[in-house]
Structure formats: structure tokens, C-alpha cells
Amino acid sequence: MSQQKIALSLDEATTYSNIGKTRLYQAINDGALKARKLGRKTLILRADLEDFLSNLDTYTPSNNEVQS
């Protein structure tokens, strides 16, 4: 039985979410994404990252975009 990690390093969070490190730090500093510190290491709980992603704005195409 494989278990998923409950906490992710910043590098793991970037891979998991496909969001760059700078954007994740910006979200943390803005208070939109919770992070934990353990010494010098920044950890993001998987649940907090999933909540952050779920709360992002939904994409709505504009009328100027070509639809196929």
C-alpha cells in the first residue's frame, strides 16, 4: 500500500501543482496559501495546497478567443 505524503517541500509542491516556486512564495506571502516552517525548511500540507488550487478563479474564455 503506497501512502501519499501529508506535507510537501516547496520543490515537491511545484511539481505536484505545476506552479512555479516564485508564484507559490507569492501566494504564501499574500496569505492565500498556508505554509509551515520546520527550521529552515518550508512545508506545505497537501490539503492546504489542494484548497489553494480549488479556490483559484475558474477560467472563462472571452468572446475574442477562437473556439474549436
- Per residue in 3-26, pLDDT tens? 889 999 999 999 999 999 999 999
Q: Which amino acid is at 15?
A: T
- Of the CA atoms within 13 Å of residue 52, those in its CB half-sphere come to 24
Q: pTM for the complete prediction?
A: 0.81
Interval 44-57: pLDDT, tens: 999 999 999 999 99
Cell of 8: 510537501
59 phi-psi bin (left φ>0, alpha ψ -120 to 50, beta other): beta
Going by pLDDT thresholds of 50, 70 and 90, the confidence category of residue 2 is: low
Beta bridge partners of 35: none
Beta bridge partners of 41: 38
Going by pLDDT thresholds of 50, 70 and 90, the confidence category of residue 63 is: confident
